[in-house]
Amino acid sequence: MAVRKSGMEVMVKEQLKIYKNKKVFVTGHTGFKGSWLVLALQELGCEVHGYALNSDSIPNHYGLHTLNIHSTISDIRNSESLQKALQESQAEIVFHLAAQSLVRPSYSDPVYTYDVNVMGSLHLLNAVRSCEHVRAVLMITTDKVYDNREMDYAYNETDRLGGYDMYSSSKACCEILISSFRNSFFNHKQYGIEHQVLITSVRAGNVIGGGDWSVDRLIPDIMKATAKEQKVILRNPTAIRPWQHVLDCLGGYLLLGAHLLNKEIAIAKAWNIAPEKNEASSVEKIIQLAQNYWPKIQYEIQSVAGNVHEAQLLMLDNAEIKEKLQWRPIYTTQEAVELTVSWYQSYYEDNKVVTSQQIRNFFNHSWN
């Protein structure tokens, strides 16, 4: 796999040194992205405190590791328990990932989706108000927060918010909540006078990588079927998405967090993290790429009864984070698929979990 290296990447690597010995609070640490984030933070030398529910997927990525973290298993909507855990952590930086993170279940339980995503975010932000040790907050929303007009257009951070389905609209509501909370309680004009908190929201999506066993996501569906020597059923093969490797996405979160810890007020806004526009690919192209690395993968296209609406075309503009923060995707879509397939192959065929090795490669080679 090609390794790209530039002066900018050396600078990014330098900026991540700020995490050494930092206390970090991660909500959703038992989930797919959260568990990768915990491992990456530990690699950077952080003391990590997690807050989430137990994972109900079998197997689950978090459970595959023996992690030395302070873990609180509790509901994000329980404001008392959340505030206690945040207070006890004495964390300087918070990554909020806990969510009902799936589109299809949001159709069957819209109230729960809004409750966890919107009210959960509100409880978290409100807890930050009474925790003077917190200086930086990253609220993880999604690429689906835009009013998607399904055009050949990559949405930028100033585009109109929307959301056809309940998951997307709940996350768009979070964006309004975050902006309102920033204006009301952590206003830029009062920074350093009345408060010391910088909040950003981050819109990234279609993250792929090893260890995801969620229901109704493409990569988990492919890997679960392949492990059972079955064909995976594709329900929306022509849908185009900005796929990116979980480490490219987390690299963006970490970089934004480093700038917040550096007290850069201009960073406290919404950011897109996305692959290059010309990398957006269809679901069928992703599975065909995956077959190149694991020929056992087989698929069948079927219109499944009761299909709910899912966007056909979604692309994000990554220009701002590239220009202002020198972030860039390290992996092409093809490389992201290769890394993902090799993770599951190692797991299913060699009984090995290669997350830490992939994280070290990302930090040591890509950003060295």
Ligand X SMILES: NC(=O)c1ccc[n+]([C@@H]2O[C@H](COP(=O)([O-])OP(=O)(O)OC[C@H]3O[C@@H](n4cnc5c(N)ncnc54)[C@H](O)[C@@H]3O)[C@@H](O)[C@H]2O)c1
Chain contacts with ligand X (rule: CB under 6 A)? 28-34, 52-53, 75-77, 97-101, 116, 140, 142, 204-207, 214
Whole-number minimum distance, CB 10 to ligand X, in Å? 29
Whose Cβ is closer to ligand X: residue 9's or residue 171's?
Answer: 171
Taking the complex as a whole, the smallest distance from the CB of residue 363 to ligand X amounts, in Å, to: 20
**Reduced to 3 states, what is the DSSP secondary structure of residue 116?**
helix
Question: From the CB of 81, what's the least distance to ligand X, in Å?
Answer: 10
Number of residue whose CB is nearest ligand X:
31
Residue 28 or 329: which CB sits closer to ligand X? 28
Q: Tokens 């219109």 label which residue?
A: 303
Cα separation, 28 vs 307, in Å, equals 28
C-alpha triplet 12, 92, 30: angle, nearest 5°: 85
Q: Which is nearer to ligand X, 9 or 248 (CB)?
A: 248
Nearer to ligand X, 139 or 354 (CB): 139
Half-sphere exposure at residue 250, Cβ-oriented, CA atoms within 13 angstroms: 24
Instruction: Kindly state the smallest distance separating residue 94's Cβ from ligand X, in Å.
Output: 13
Give the shortest CB-347-to-ligand X separation in angstroms: 16
Of 9, 98, 95, residue with least CA distance to 365:
9
Which residues make beta-bridge pairs with 244? 207
Q: What is the DSSP string of 268-320?
A: SSEEEE---GGG-EEHHHHHHHHHHH-TT--EEE---TTPPP--SB-EE--HH
Q: Which is nearer to ligand X, 9 or 344 (CB)?
A: 344
Both structure tokens of 201:
């929201």
